[in-house]
């Protein structure tokens, strides 16, 4: 049933073994994983949208709220300017990621190190913004236990942040390998797979930014 597509005389065939599809199995696996992640984030986004506007007590995302028992006023909790900057940072990290992959393909070791480090740094910066946001929310009275908005918001953005954290660790691992012995063009598939994961995390944030932060 399985038929090898790669010609045994092909000088590039050593990069991955012959497969019945003619495609790299690692890359098929990451796309299948990304497909399954679509369901994962769709379930979290659904939960957020279903609970949207159904919180009985504040703080609320887009409007101020006065606690009737204490008369304390809670302002709208979401900080759009800060989140816009962190969104820009994540978008730029995707640009750095494609440049890192391109550098590895070309065998440009200096550029690959610079762009891998830049991507990891921008990812870490995004996480810093998220840590700041979570901390300020807790200080302003919104925790995961406060209301339906708090629960669904922290779960959704927290899982996204966990994915970014995994991506940053993955990037730092690639950077370490690149610094230790160098990533060759034959190993570009390893960077490509990491890049696909990283871009997926980016597109999930594109959806979250609109659905959670911008739509009132």
Partner 1 sequence: MAADHSHSMAHDDHGNAGSHEHTHPDWGTYKWVALILTALTGLEVWIYYLPSFTATKLFVPTLLILSAIKFTIVVMFYMHLKYDAKLFRALFVGPLIIASFIVVGLLFLFNHVKIQF
CB of 68 to partner 1, least distance (A): 27
Is residue 26 part of the contact set for partner 1 (CB under 8 A)? yes
Rule CB under 8 A: choose which of 131, 166, 169, 203 binds partner 1. 203
Q: Which residues contact 200 (CB under 8 A, 6 or more apart)?
A: 34, 37
**Count of chain residues binding partner 1 (CB under 8 A):** 63
Tell me if 34 contacts partner 1 by CB under 8 A.
Answer: yes
| Near partner 1 in 173-192, by CB under 8 A | 185, 188-189, 192
Alpha-carbon distance of 146 to 120, in angstroms, equals 33
How many whole angstroms from its chain centre is CA 110? 25
Spatial CB neighbours of 174, under 8 Å, sequence gap ≥ 6: 116, 183, 190, 191, 194
Please give the Cα distance from 149 to 67 (Å, whole number): 16
Answer whether 145's CB lies under 8 Å from 153's CB.
no
> What does the alpha-carbon distance between residue 171 and residue 101 come to, in Å, rounded to a whole number?
11
Stretch that binds partner 1, among 86-94, 117-125, 126-134, 151-159 (CB under 8 A): 86-94
Residues that bind partner 1 (CB under 8 A): 5-7, 10, 12-13, 15-16, 18-19, 21-24, 26-28, 31-32, 34-36, 38-39, 41-43, 45-46, 49-50, 52, 80, 84, 87-88, 91-92, 94-95, 97-99, 102, 105, 185, 188-189, 192, 195-196, 199-200, 202-203, 206-207, 209-211, 214-216
């Amino acid at each position: 049933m399985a038929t090898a597509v790669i010609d045994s005389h092909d000088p590039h065939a050593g990069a991955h073994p012959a497969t019945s599809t003619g495609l790299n199995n690692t890359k098929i696996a990451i796309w299948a994983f990304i497909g399954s992640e679509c369901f994962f984030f769709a379930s979290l986004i659904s939960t957020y949208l279903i609970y949207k506007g159904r919180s009985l007590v504040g703080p609320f995302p887009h409007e101020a709220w006065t606690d009737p028992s204490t008369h304390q006023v809670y302002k709208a909790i979401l900080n759009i300017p800060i989140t816009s900057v962190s969104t820009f940072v994540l978008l730029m990290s995707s640009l750095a990621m494609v440049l890192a992959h391109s550098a590895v393909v070309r065998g440009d070791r200096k550029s690959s190190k610079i762009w891998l480090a830049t991507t990891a740094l921008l990812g870490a910066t995004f996480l810093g913004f998220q840590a700041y946001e979570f901390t300020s929310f807790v200080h302003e009275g919104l925790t995961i236990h406060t209301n339906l908005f708090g629960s669904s918001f922290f779960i959704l953005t927290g899982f996204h942040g966990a994915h970014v954290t995994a991506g940053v660790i993955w990037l730092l691992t690639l950077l370490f390998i690149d610094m230790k012995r160098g990533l060759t063009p034959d190993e570009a598939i390893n960077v490509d797979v990491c890049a696909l994961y990283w871009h997926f995390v980016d597109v999930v944030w594109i959806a979250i930014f609109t659905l959670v932060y911008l739509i009132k």
